Amino acid sequence: MTTTLSKYSLVSKNFMDDLKVMQRGKFYLTPLQYNHVEEICSNLPPEGLHDIYCLGYDSPKEAILEMMENSEVYIVKSKDGPILCVTGLVFDNTIEWPQFFCIFTNEVKENLRLLVIGSRMVIRFFDKTHPQLCMSISSDFPIMLNWAASLGFEAVGFSEATDCKYIDFVRCNPIGKSVSHKSSRPVMH
């Protein structure tokens, strides 16, 4: 009987392993699961907490649980290591394109090179299925505004939420072909 229980325990553990949607070296993208929430909440930097409270949430946990319900959401993690960020897309009928988001943990501050490499990997993942993305970043964080520009996002305006000012960005997929813009359409004779 002990052998049978051990066998089922092993199968159960393997079932709970992270599904690797995409991998580069020891880092991978996996869907966010409930067992990730506490680790994320306990490892958010002041900038991430600032954004969460500016968006009107009472706690990081509330924000992350809502993301899980209303978004396509993933984490970037290192093998046998900590979660580096929560990222994904929000689909809302009030915005034209999916809204990209990324909340970094304290782990990214240890290695900014990871931020650049990982961010490009995530953007390429979303490029496969979405011709355009939008994003809003708090104007309080110039480093993040530069990060958005390095990923190919262009500033297009400003917005406000709960006394916080945001810069609005859009990004068109550089490998996608779109003819929705008038100047991109073929000339008809």
pLDDT one-digit tens code per residue, 141-154 = 888 899 999 999 99
Residue 102 is part of a domain; what is its CATH number?
Answer: 3.40.630.30
Residue 103 lies in a domain: yes
Residue 115 lies in a domain: yes
Bin 56: left if φ > 0, else alpha if -120 < ψ < 50, else beta: left
142 residue type, one letter: P
Name the pLDDT band for 176 (thresholds 50, 70, 90).
low
Tens of pLDDT, residue by residue over 67-125, are 999 899 999 988 888 898 999 999 988 888 999 999 999 988 777 777 777 788 899 89
Dist CA 50 CA 72 (whole Å): 22
pTM, to two decimals: 0.79
Name the pLDDT band for 182 (thresholds 50, 70, 90).
very low
Q: Which domain holds residue 60?
A: 20-173
Tell me the β-bridge partners of 103.
86
Residue 189 has pLDDT above 60, yes or no: no
The alpha carbon dihedral of 9, 13, 15, 16 has a sign of positive
pLDDT, position 167? 94
Residue 189 lies in a domain: no
Q: How many CB atoms lie within 10 A of CB 86?
A: 26
Q: How many CB atoms lie within 10 A of CB 88?
A: 23
Residue 180 lies in a domain: no
What total number of domains does the chain contain? 1
Residue 183 lies in a domain: no
